[in-house]
Amino acid sequence: MTAVVSVLVPVALGDCYSYVAPRELAPGTIVRVPFGPREVVGAVWDDAPDTGRSPAKLKAISHVFDAPPPGAPLLDADMRRFVEWVARWTLAPRGMVLRMVLRVPEALDPEPTRPGVALAGAPPERMTPARTRVMALLEGGLSWTKAGLAETAGVSPSVIDGLVSAGTLAAVELPPPTAAARPDPDFHHPDLTGDQSAAADQLRAAVARDAASVLLLDGVTGSGKTEVFLEAVAATVAAGKQALIMMPEIALTHSVIARFERRFAARPAEWHSAVPPAQRARVWRGAAAGDVRIVVGARSALFLPFRELGLIVVDEEHDNAYKQDDRVPYNARDMAVVRGHIGRFPVVLASATPSIESRVNADQGRYAHVILSDRVPGASLPDVRAVDLRQSRPEKGRWLAPPLVAAVGEALGRGEQALLFLNRRGYAPLTVCGACGHRFSCPDCSAWLVDHRLRGRLACHHCGHTEPRPEACPACGALDSLVACGPGVERIAEEAQALFPEARSIILSSDIGGGTERIRRELQLVADGAFDLIVGTQLVAKGHTFPRLKLVGVVDADLGLMNGDLRAAERTFQLLAQVTGRAGRMGGGGSGLLQTHAPDHPVIRAIVSGDREAFYRTEIAERMATGLPPFGRLAAIIISGPDRAETEAHARAFARSAPSGEGIDMLGPAEAPLAILRGRHRFRLLIRSPRTVDIQAYLRAWLAAAPPARGGVRVMIDVDPQSFV
DNA sequence: AGCACGCCGACT
DNA sequence: GTCGGCGTGCTC
């Protein structure tokens, strides 16, 4: 009883291919099929099979994967709709989106069985203390891995071998380990403040409604957002549904996992790039089978094939790490909203500094606005002041103004931790030749090369190009003539060490080698109090709590405010709020100092006064004044290609064919995300349009009429997708 | 001749 | 996205 079915394959194709199946297969069934010279894993799809081809000419499906309930399709109708939706929204081929779902090849192989041992016969004639300990552990009739048993009993593996040959133990096959233990929603009910309880009630009510909704959980740093959304997770789990919590850069958020464990007596399943393949496979299968109830993951977790998803929490919803720029370009926060709509469940967006677009959505009533206005007891907001650099100037050749130096000295004197924050890696952002004025710039993208003294190299922060720091100027040949212009964290650390030689200091930035693991270790050392003075980039602004940190000094609060980027003010506000919020997080009494040339700038004023609303009001009004609605319906379409002139021509052609209001911004390398610069694409354009809904249709028509000659066009639509759902 | 590289088209 | 085919151009 063969049948012909449509299969979507995980390649850059939008169309399905027809295959002969051994029997009728429901859409969503995962299959392996021959495809050109190789085999790929795809999914039976809802498209009608190609009737124009005779079945005799079709290839046959080589394998049908059985899903956990035998015979049921693995990707349910909601999941398939989600794949379709993301493909349409991102203008990516459907196959590429499916690829994100099926990216775990190991998940479909049968789980390798693990050898273990279990009690099988009478106790051995000769008992020894080691054997007694082993036997005690086997009392309950449980099976163990050989290594696990030996380690727990505190004996060498040869003791186990001896018991096997004596016939007391026998080799058995162990069942595959589960990806995560069952969480208990009632394990530990936290004491919530009145504010928190009210917010938790709103979230629980949304879970109970069993309908699509979006809630913006908006609370200052230290207001206890995590405890609140954990209650929504508990309600979801209690209702028999699965919950997904997304976090940016999850590899660094150790402490949140620990909080889940305290709340639910079980570790949640983790999903991010650092999880080893075998464990990833278990989580994927567990999510599909319904064994895994809570997943904490990075943006890609959004594409796990959950069986009965009932809640998504997007923590730090404003964070840029939710954007994927290569392959299928999407914003996981927005796609989470879409998945919630399709699956008819609530999505919680949490942040102390919500993005402008989420605030606008909340203001306009499309998202429920859940506000936590107070810090939890014992964590008062830091007292932040501006240091006007026009009046308090640093000494010549220095970067720290006297009030900041004094504040750091006092904090160190009290045995407290102080942080000097500067969002610029390396020693100096620009190097010139003192003899001839030659500026060192990147041969590939013309950005200035950043001096990295600790590494002894000049590096381009846009494309990753590095070269050794030369002894002589390549332009005029002068020796030892290189002059560093401006500060980076390395230079600030040098200055701070000269001022406070007795302080134990550390530089925290992403270019300390050793990867995520080393960064995590060093953050932990800082939290444990192993350092007094920290000089850091935005790495220190995110996630981690430093209990002993009382003073945050921002070396250049204006950095980032001055460039022409659409989101410059918003991003600077978010960063400054996050980093000053680190001070006095535990026990209160924190303070912050912002070195600035523009103390009257709305962003600086909002941070100093603590009046977040003032910032949102002015920023939203300012975007209104540009003539473009503030992001609720603003589309940013980014077109990038390998060649600047050609890319520009394409963008202009697009703008001509679109009806009204589209403006084009040419963005240089500074704005282009690294992902594109590292590839072949060097230039990109941002087209802003107030006509979000129309954009896809125009873009589609335009791409069909004028396909780019080479290199392709990459399109990212960067907008609130709710109006499409 | 042999090989590296880049471009193009097919993939049921 | 990935592969094979095929052209170009270079080779101690």
Nearest nucleotide to the CA of A38, by C1', is C3
Instruction: Give per-residue pLDDT as tens, A115-129.
Output: 677 777 767 767 776
Residue A720 has pLDDT above 60, yes or no: no
* pLDDT score of A457: 86
Instruction: Give per-residue pLDDT as tens, A591-640.
Output: 999 999 999 999 999 999 989 999 999 988 877 665 444 444 444 555 65
Residue A443 has pLDDT above 90, yes or no: no
List bases, strand B, within 7 Å of protein CB: 8, 10-12
Letter string b/e over residues A534-557, b meaning 16 or more CB atoms within 10 A of that residue's CB: bbbbbbbbbbbebebbbbbbbbbb
Residue A485 annotated in ligand binding:
no
CB within 7 A of strand C (chain A, 76-135) = 96, 99
Instruction: Give backbone dihedrals phi and psi of A45, rounded to 5 degrees, phi first.
Output: -120, 175
CA A680 / C1′ C11 distance in Å = 28
Q: Does residue A573 sit in helix, strand or coil?
A: helix
Structure tokens at A155: 């004996």
CATH for A632-719, options being 3.40.50.2000, 3.30.70.600, 3.90.79.10, 3.40.640.10: 3.30.70.600
A332-343 and A77-90 are packed helices; what angle lies between their axes, rounded to 10 degrees? Answer: 140
Instruction: Give per-residue pLDDT as tens, A108-118.
Output: 766 656 667 77
The span from the first CA to the last CA of chain A, in angstroms, equals 40
Q: Which secondary structure element, helix H or strand E, spans residue A30, and what is its range?
A: strand A30-35
The CA–CA distances, whole Å, from A52 to A49, A58, A498 equal: 9, 11, 79
Residue A493 CB-density burial (10 A; 0-12 exposed, 13-18 middle, 19+ buried): buried
Q: Is the CB of A359 under 7 A from strand C?
A: no
Low-confidence winner among A21-35, A141-155, A300-314, A609-623 (lowest mean pLDDT): A141-155
Q: Is the CB of A12 under 7 A from strand C?
A: yes
Residue A668 has pLDDT above 50, yes or no: no
Residues 6+ apart with CB under 8 A from A697: none
Provide mean pLDDT across the span A457-477. Answer: 83
Using alpha carbons only, how large is chain A's radius of gyration in Å? 29
* pLDDT score of A667: 44
The structure tokens 């942080």 sit at A419
Q: In what order do the strands lie in the sheet with A38-44?
A: A17-21, A3-8, A38-44, A30-35, A63-64
- Choose among A382, A331, A253, A265: nearest CA to A631: A331
CA A272 / C1′ C2 distance in Å = 25
Q: How many helices (H) and strands (E) does chain A have?
A: 20, 31
* pLDDT score of A256: 87
Per domain, the residue ranges of chain A are 3-102, 114-174, 194-372, 383-427+487-622, 430-485, 632-719
Asked, colleague to colleague, whether A383-427+487-622 and A632-719 share their fold, the answer is: no
Q: What is the mean pLDDT of chain A?
A: 82
Nearest nucleotide to the CA of A99, by C1', is C1
Is residue A639 within 8 Å of A654, Cβ to Cβ? Answer: yes
Nearest nucleotide to the CA of A7, by C1', is B12
HEC string of A71-109 equals CCCCCCHHHHHHHHHHHHHHCCCHHHHHHHHCCCHHHHC
Q: Is the CB of A612 under 7 A from strand C?
A: no
Structure tokens at A16: 């399905």
How would residue A46 be classed by pLDDT, with cut points 50, 70 and 90? very high
How would residue A76 be classed by pLDDT, with cut points 50, 70 and 90? very high
* pLDDT score of A157: 72
pLDDT over 90, % of chain A: 45
Q: Does residue A585 sit in helix, strand or coil?
A: coil
Q: How far apart are CA A192 and CA A194, in angstroms?
A: 6
Residue A352 CB-density burial (10 A; 0-12 exposed, 13-18 middle, 19+ buried): buried
Residue A347 has pLDDT above 90, yes or no: yes
Between A366 and A669, the higher pLDDT residue: A366
- Choose among A484, A628, A498: nearest CA to A566: A628
Q: How far apart are CA A564 and CA A670, in angstroms?
A: 10
Q: Is the CB of A404 under 7 A from strand C?
A: no
The structure tokens 């390396």 sit at A426
* pLDDT score of A630: 45
Low-confidence winner among A89-98, A165-174, A277-286, A631-640 (lowest mean pLDDT): A631-640
Instruction: Give backbone dihedrals phi and psi of A592, rounded to 5 degrees, phi first.
Output: -135, 150
Nearest nucleotide to the CA of A61, by C1', is B12
Residue A276 CB-density burial (10 A; 0-12 exposed, 13-18 middle, 19+ buried): exposed
- Choose among A42, A110, A111, A106: nearest CA to A281: A106
Q: Does residue A686 sit in helix, strand or coil?
A: strand
Q: Strand A30-35 to strand A430-433: parallel, antiparallel, or no bridges (unpaired)?
A: unpaired
Q: Which fold has domain A3-102?
A: GIY-YIG endonuclease (3.40.1440)
Nearest nucleotide to the CA of A36, by C1', is B11
* pLDDT score of A702: 59
* pLDDT score of A563: 63
Q: How far apart are CA A531 and CA A516, in angstroms?
A: 19
The CA–CA distances, whole Å, from A11 to A7, A45, A95, A102, A217 equal: 12, 14, 5, 11, 38
Between A201 and A116, the higher pLDDT residue: A201
Letter string b/e over residues A685-708, b meaning 16 or more CB atoms within 10 A of that residue's CB: bbbbbbbbeebbebbeebbeeeeb
Residue A674 has pLDDT above 80, yes or no: no
* pLDDT score of A442: 76
CA count, 13 A, side-chain hemisphere, A389? 18
* pLDDT score of A470: 85
* pTM (predicted TM-score): 0.86
How would residue A269 be classed by pLDDT, with cut points 50, 70 and 90? very high
Residue A290 has pLDDT above 80, yes or no: yes
Between A295 and A648, the higher pLDDT residue: A295
* pLDDT score of A643: 54
Is residue A5 within 8 Å of A49, Cβ to Cβ? Answer: yes
* pLDDT score of A632: 40
Q: Is the CB of A13 under 7 A from strand C?
A: yes
CATH superfamily for domain A194-372: P-loop containing nucleotide triphosphate hydrolases (3.40.50.300)
Between A715 and A74, the higher pLDDT residue: A74
Tell me the CATH architecture of domain A383-427+487-622.
3-Layer(aba) Sandwich (3.40)
* pLDDT score of A1: 79
Residue A330 has pLDDT above 90, yes or no: no
Q: Is the CB of A37 under 7 A from strand C?
A: yes
> How remote is the C-alpha of A630 from its chain's centroid?
24
Q: Does residue A689 sit in helix, strand or coil?
A: strand
Instruction: Give per-residue pLDDT as tens, A244-254.
Output: 999 998 766 77
Between A274 and A100, the higher pLDDT residue: A100
SS3 breakdown of chain A: % helix, strand, coil, rounded to 5? 35, 20, 45
